[in-house]
A and B are shown apart, each in its own frame.
Chain A
Amino acid sequence: MLFGAAALALLASNAAACGSPPPPPEVDELAAQLDRARADSRLAADAAAATPPPPTAQALAAVASERAAHAQALSDELVRIVGKDAPTTTATSTTAQPAKAPTTEEVIAALRQSADSAGQLAAKQSGYRAGLLGSIAASCTAAYTVALVPPKAAQ
């Protein structure tokens, strides 16, 4: 009885603190996708800056720009759901510079995880969100299976 009242009070104070209904559950999942897109974009840009052979550098730059486009589309979708700006996590990135530049293999591994994660979420979501996540998964897969693999091995 006492516990119940305390829990109710806690809920009430939470609701009061937020001043709005709790965000829909897909917000967290989309925010995680947004973080992945931003992280991949930075990783690919850092790897491209480490002067790999020109074709790889171009492919890495394309990945950086595509993942940035994914981040923008996910952020737009989050804004549409919650009605305000999506949380930014970019502030933390400036403090810690990587000790050494990431390799193309690390970018491939990150994209593989991102593709799996976006593809699985796409099947669970519906409508436009499912479509967006599916395109993101497809883009990441094409990048790590074709664009970042030297031509002879890819054919």
Chain B
Amino acid sequence: MTSPEPTPTTTTSSRAAEPSAPGRPSDATNGALFDAIATEHATIYGYGLVSAHSTPDVNGLVSAVMAEHRDRREGAIAILQARSVDPPLPAAGYQLPIEVDNPTDAANLAVRMEEDAAVAWRAVLEQATDEQDRAFAVTALTQCAVAAARWSRVLGISPITVAFPGGSE
């Protein structure tokens, strides 16, 4: 999956003086939400590259899906903040799971990121104890599955749908 760039292992005093990034909450629901927000940060970063390498005919898809991820990230951050839990910060950069040099790479990365996001939201769905959190996660999981199907269609994959988005059944 799209993961943060390894942080340089410097021990300079200036780094040590920086405020520490919020840690993952120990509570299962909030922990899963924290992970999902971190995944959304990475996905939004990755869509910048997808956008840069896509052909104009998928502009509508790129902007619609990116807006969805942004809305979802803000929604999830609001849920955590309402519980006085600090959400994760975006990383300075991310290591992408695949190299992106052309429109096909871009669509492949998009499918991969939607699959990763679906996994993160299914984890929220399984860990949540609150019905509203679960409803939020069902919507997120569904939107990721729809976006993955749309990108798979761009790639000409058949079938473009999977039986268990975000799951390993």
Contact = CB atoms under 8 A, between A and B. Distances in A.
Query: Is chain A's interface secondary structure helix, strand, loop, or mixed overall?
Result: helix
Contacts of B122: 131, 134-135
Interface in B110-156: 118, 121-123, 125-126, 128-129, 131-132, 134-135, 137-139, 141-142, 144-146, 148-150, 153
Contacts, number: 122
Nearest to A77: B169
Which range contains the number of A residues in contact with the other chain? 35 or more
B38 to A, nearest CB: 19
A127 B160 contact: no
Contacts of A124: 131, 134
Interface of A: 58-59, 62-63, 65-66, 69-70, 73, 115, 119, 122-124, 126-128, 130-132, 134-139, 141-143, 145-147, 151, 154-155
B88 interface: no
Nearest to A125: B134
B169 A119 contact: no
Contacts of A135: 122, 141, 145, 163-167, 169
Contact of B166 (A66, A69, A134, A147): A134
Nearest to A66: B163
Given A62-B161, A119-B139, A131-B166, 14 more contacts: A69-B169, A122-B134, A123-B135, A126-B126, A127-B126, A128-B126, A134-B122, A134-B134, A135-B163, A138-B144, A139-B161, A141-B146, A142-B145, A142-B148
A66 B134 contact: no
Given A123-B135, A134-B125, A134-B141, A139 B146 contact: no
B162 interface: yes
Contacts of B137: 134
